[in-house]
């Protein structure tokens, strides 16, 4: 604005001093302070809190899912995927034994082929 660059060094010094004073008064920024007020636990340690510690597969899984038969046609499989919100479905044999897993991406890769 003024074309005078002599103000830059004092401005930088004032910024550094104010940052140091601010950190000594309060370790929290305005953002972390809001999160702490909401009850979010923030770790200042170098080791991050492992949020997945103590979560088992049983707790994370969904028992309410559709399974597809091993001999199901691709057209039926596409219809099943379009009627659910899942990206993968278990494939079971006739005796209800798990045969594997099929994903939307695999289905997309197996799309129409020219012969």
Residue 100, domain CATH: 3.10.580.10
- pLDDT recorded at residue 43: 67
Q: What does the pLDDT look like over 19-70, one tens digit per residue?
A: 999 889 888 888 888 888 888 777 665 455 566 677 788 888 888 888 999 9
Q: What is the total count of domains within the chain? A: 1
Residue 101 structural domain: 58-109
The Cα–Cα gap between 95 and 101 comes to 16
Express each pLDDT in 1-11 by its tens digit. Answer: 667 788 899 99
Q: What is the mean pLDDT of the chain?
A: 83
Query: Are 51 and 39 in contact, with CB atoms under 8 Å apart?
Result: no
98 domain-assigned: yes
Whether residue 65 lies inside any domain: the answer is yes
Would 73 be classed as within a structural domain?
yes
* Residues whose CB is less than 8 angstroms from the CB of residue 5 and which lie 6 or more positions away in sequence, other chains included: none
Residue 92 maps to a domain: yes
């Amino acid at each position: 604005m003024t074309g005078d660059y002599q103000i830059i060094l004092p401005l930088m010094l004032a910024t550094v001093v104010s940052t140091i004073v601010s950190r000594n008064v309060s370790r929290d920024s305005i953002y972390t302070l809001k999160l702490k007020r909401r009850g979010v636990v923030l770790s200042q340690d170098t080791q991050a809190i492992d949020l997945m510690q103590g979560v088992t597969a049983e707790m994370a899984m969904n028992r309410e899912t559709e399974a597809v038969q091993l001999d199901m046609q691709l057209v039926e499989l596409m219809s099943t995927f379009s009627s659910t919100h899942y990206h993968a479905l278990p494939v079971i044999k006739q005796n209800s034994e798990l045969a594997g897993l099929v994903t939307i991406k695999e289905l997309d890769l197996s799309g129409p082929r020219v012969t």
